[in-house]
Chain A
Amino acid sequence: MTQAQATPDPAPTGDDALLESWAQSEYKYGFVTDIESESAPPGLNEDIVRFISEKKGEPDWMLQWRLKALRHWLTMTEPTWPKVDYPPINYQDIVYYSAPKQKPALGSLDEVDPKLLETYEKLGIPLEEQKMLAGVAVDAVFDSVSVATTFKETLREAGVIFCSMSEAIREHPELVRAYLGSVVPYSDNFFATLNSAVFSDGSFVYVPKGVACPMELSTYFRINAMNTGQFERTLIIADEGASVSYLEGCTAPMRDENQLHAAVVELVALDDAAIKYSTVQNWYPGDERGVGGIYNFVTKRGKAAGRRSRIAWTQVETGSAITWKYPSCVLLGDESVGEFYSVALTNRRQQADTGTKMIHIGKNTRSTIISKGISAGRGQNTYRGLVKVNKGAEHARNFTQCDSMLLGDRCGAHTFPYIEVKNRTARVEHEATTSRIGEDQLFYCNQRGLRTEDAVSMIVNGFCKEVFRELPMEFAVEAQKLLDVSLEGSVG
């Protein structure tokens, strides 16, 4: 475990002192598990892609798809439009594959490497306990390979397929072939294309017609081996009339080397299907000088392909040195609905450029965007969102609200919405405000006997309430705790 030495700023006073102490609160989940891992040499070329594909025992069509993506990626340039700042990434320095040492297929948790289980326990997700808890199945991704999957039997009874992407490619190739890249094509953008070439693993969910998934599905991602880019690929399909709620939570070890994470998540909802995708992201954000921390360059997109299908993204982003992420909804089916609820917190030298895209194509489509940005320390928080109403999208409706809160005078809050309307029956509204915690608010709370820190926590949690109430119960609790931890001593 690396202990980052904080360089103390000039002695702060009063409220500033609290702010500072929040800014300096140590990352709780910074530890590295020492497990022998099997890695590819650094660099990216066709051989590496072939190596990854072979390691995973993939069929030829998968390899060809990866190679097509790689060849396309080589013609692309890294985007510079996001409002984030980082040293150039040498893509030939990155290890594109790293897996915990292969073991024979596991029948039960007892066969899992005890050190892995220990890691999960440190993260607060003991599998045994979760087995007992009602309703949550965990597909834990340790680095790049899914090593333990629970509740499979229960899900199988309902007909739900919930497995790792590698397994899905082997066991359900017809589904993977039909849907992989159907929402985020291999040529989509620089990072998604990179992911298409080298993705290591991820989760696959298929909910058959008319089935309401009996439990909330959850994956904990964990980045471990040094210098390993994490390239997850997740595909969730809800067939006609199906519904599913998926939870994604992340923590990562503390270290000084920047890590690239370029995941792709694709959601497909057919007629009358509903997918709810919730994320709590708490990856290592770097220390107060901005050293270390995860680069989180993620492409997430959902296709509301059928009539009355619904896709909802909820995210609580508190980690990562840089977040570049726009969970989007393509509202293709008539009367389909897209929702986006987000809390993004940047502290220390974190940078976030995040938001959503709502593409209205079908008639009577509706979308809602609620975004809450909180900036503290020297964090830079940007909301960037697109609402697009195509010509045929009669009576499309969008409501967008993005609010920013600034805690401290060294941080920044930015709002860059894009609105494009090509149909006159559309109604699009966008509202944004920027504010700070008022001294009068704090004074009122103090005067009622609340400590300033509690008052700030209360006010910030209130500011985020509209988003938290969209989270599943367990996540809502975790999210509030996370915000409290992040808020420790941060009073403006």
Chain B
Amino acid sequence: MTTATTSPSAATATDRFAALYEGARAALAGSARDGEMARRDAAMARFREMGVPRRGDEEWKYTNLAGLDALPFELAGAARVVAPEAVEPALVGAGPRIVLVNGRFDERLSDATEAPAGVTVEAHVPADASVLDRCTDLAPLPFARLCEALAPTAAVVRVAPGVEAAEPIQAVFITTAGDAPVAAFPRLRVEAGAGASVTVVETHLVMGAGATVAASLTEIDAADGARVVHECTADLNESSWRLAAIVIRQARSSRVESAAVATGGGVTRHDFRASLDGPGADCALRGLAMLSRDEHVDNHLLVRHAAPECTSREFFKNVLDGSSRGVFCGRIHVDQDAQKTDGVQTNATILLSDDAEAQSRPQLEIYADDVKCTHGATVGQLDEGAVFYLRSRGLPEARARALLIDGFAGEILDAYTVAAVRDRLKSALFGPIPGGAGAA
């Protein structure tokens, strides 16, 4: 049991979020549609019930949020203007894109005119949160509820049944950091109709050096036979808190791939939740954290096999330098009726420095007997034998190490299907390493 150490006069982060909502409620109500405020109020009430998780919370054991209490954050302002040149480097192609700055739709930066028939890319508040509701059956997600309550609007990508969107669709969320800490609530929803196919690139950018707190929510709803590829990247600053929930609901024979790589940042938490509700659904989740300084990334996942004959694959890797910390907590939950489940979960970590720390909890929770589930976790350092081998072939030591790290991380990066995203990540990750493959 933990007790709050803050004095009663100091506001906790929970109180501060509640105050933000009170402050923003009138403005939100001004543009609200039917039932929207009731849903926001309900979401806020659920958040308040749970509050910002404390250290004693088993689900947050390795990610300490006490630092949020000391952060006097305000809502990210609406008036900031972002120059197109600042966004340009983050764009991945000519496909449709939607840009939200501090949670508000930015028409100037967005370009959805190219959207093919049957594909809509627009900003509005979703009329429900059924995917989130489904994915929080087993365990709650306080920050996702917070985002549901406070996100001014959401980027919504809809693909009609049977439509295959050829070009990747990009959703860009910009948070402008200022002198005072700001809080932002990016929300993205992807709805793929039966047999539809779509690739969505989710990009988070923090501009400026000030502190930011972003509670983001990504909802993916894949109908029968739909194919969704979701690739998420985040360019953050050193004092950013990114608390992201990626919730996925899959119907019969659908396939969803979701991957998240964080570069830079202060504290990042990804909560992946997938509910495989239809027989034959296939889900693949991937993550890579290459950290230095005192960066902290916590990848949490819960994949629920609720129907028979579903497949899930979870591959997460960490390369930890400096005094960084990489946390992995994955759980495959197999319902009693989910026979013929096939689940594989692996987490591998390489520690490069004396001060880096790794925590790993690969878990299985199985209530059906005809299942094939395995998980594995390894923690170690670079194989000195392999380094020696490369050096004996004439490679300088730094190059040899970079090559091995590249190979280790490549397994996750090479699975990125959007070439522009993959290349950007590679140069961001391997650029700084002398002679790293990405630098070439």
Q: Name A residues whose Cβ lies closer than 8 Å to a Cβ of B.
A: 77, 81, 389, 391, 404, 406-436, 492
* Contacting residue for A419 out of B353, B359, B364, B371, CB 8 A: B359
A-B contact pairs, 10 of them (CB 8 A): A389-B379, A411-B369, A414-B366, A423-B354, A425-B381, A427-B380, A428-B377, A430-B362, A430-B375, A434-B366
Give A424 to B336 CA distance when docked, in angstroms: 40
The 10 closest A-B pairs by CB, nearest first: A424-B351, A406-B369, A419-B360, A430-B377, A428-B379, A415-B364, A421-B379, A434-B373, A412-B367, A421-B358
**B377 near A410: Cβ-Cβ < 8 Å:** no
Considering the chains assembled together, what is the distance between the CA atoms of A428 and B359 in angstroms? Answer: 11
Interface membership of B124, Cβ < 8 A: no
With a cutoff of 8 Å between Cβ atoms, the chain A residues found around residue B367 in the complex are 411-412
Which residues of A lie under 8 Å from residue B258 when comparing CB positions?
none
Nearest B residue to A412 by beta-carbon distance? B367
Q: Are B377 and A424 in contact (CB under 8 A)?
A: no
Within 8 Å CB of A77, what residues of B? 1
Complex: chain A residue closest to B353, CB-CB: A424
Please tell me if the beta carbons of A415 and B352 are within 8 angstroms of each other in the complex: no
> Which A residues are CB-close (under 8 A) to B247?
none
Checking A410, A423, A424, A430 against B376 with a beta-carbon cut-off of 8 angstroms, the contacting residue is: A430
Instruction: For A80, give the chain B residue with the smallest CB separation.
Output: B58
B363 adjacent to A416 (CB under 8 Å)? yes
Does B108 sit within 8 A of A, measured CB to CB?
A: no
Min Cβ gap B167→A in Å is 41
Contact A418 B361 (CB under 8 A): yes
Residues from chain B with Cβ under 8 Å of A431 in the complex: 374-376
- A200 and B294 CA atoms in complex are apart in Å by 50
Q: How far is the CA of A146 from the CA of B233 in the complex (A)?
A: 66
Chain B interface secondary structure, helix, strand, loop or mixed? strand
Is B15 positioned at the interface, with any CB of A under 8 Å from its CB? no
User: B: which residues have CB within 8 A of A?
Assistant: 1, 58, 336, 339, 349, 351-354, 356-381
- Interface pair A426/B374, CB less than 8 Å apart: no
In the assembled complex, which residues on chain B have CB atoms less than 8 Å from the CB atom of A411? 367, 369
Q: Establish whether residues A432 and B375, one from each chain, have CB atoms under 8 Å apart when the complex forms.
A: yes
Shortest beta-carbon distance, B290 to chain A, in Å?
A: 15
Question: What separation, in Å, do the CA atoms of A410 and B367 have in the docked complex?
Answer: 7
- Contacting B357 at CB < 8 Å: which of A406, A413, A420, A434? A420
Chain B residues near A428 (CB-CB < 8 A):
377-380
A417 touches B377 (CB 8 A): yes
CB distance from B310 to the nearest CB of A (A): 15
Question: In the docked arrangement, what's the CA distance between A418 and B371, Å?
Answer: 23
Q: Are A413 and B379 in contact (CB under 8 A)?
A: no
Among residues of B, the one whose C-beta sits closest to the C-beta of A388 is B359
CA distance A412 to B362 in the complex (A): 17
Closest residue of B by beta carbon distance from A433? B374
Known: A409-B336, A428-B380. A416 touches B361 (CB 8 A): yes
On chain B, the residues within 8 Å of A412 by CB distance are 365-367
Can you name the residue of chain A whose Cβ is closest to the Cβ of B358? Answer: A421
In the complex, residue of chain A having the shortest beta-carbon distance to the beta carbon of B374:
A433
Which of B58, B351, B364 is close to A432, meaning CB atoms less than 8 Å apart? B364
A413 lies within 8 A of B366 (CB): yes
Residue in chain A with minimal CB distance to B382: A424
Q: Tell me the bound Cα distance from A421 to B361 in angstroms.
A: 12
Residues of B within 8 A of A410 (CB): 336
Are B361's CB and A417's CB within 8 A?
Answer: yes
Residues in A whose Cβ lies below 8 Å from that of B371: 406, 434, 436
Cβ–Cβ < 8 Å partners of B380 in chain A: 426-428
Cα–Cα distance between A191 and B30 once the two chains are bound (Å) = 56
A281 to B354, CA, bound (A): 42
Asked if A408 and B369 sit within 8 Å, CB to CB, the answer is yes
- List, in ascending order, chain A residues with CB within 8 A of B365's CB: 412, 414-415
Closest residue on chain B to residue A426 by CB atoms: B379
Given A391-B354, A414-B365, A434-B364; 20 other pairs, CB 8 A cutoff: A406-B366, A409-B336, A409-B368, A412-B366, A415-B364, A417-B360, A418-B361, A419-B377, A419-B379, A420-B358, A421-B358, A421-B379, A424-B356, A424-B381, A430-B378, A431-B374, A431-B376, A432-B362, A434-B366, A434-B374
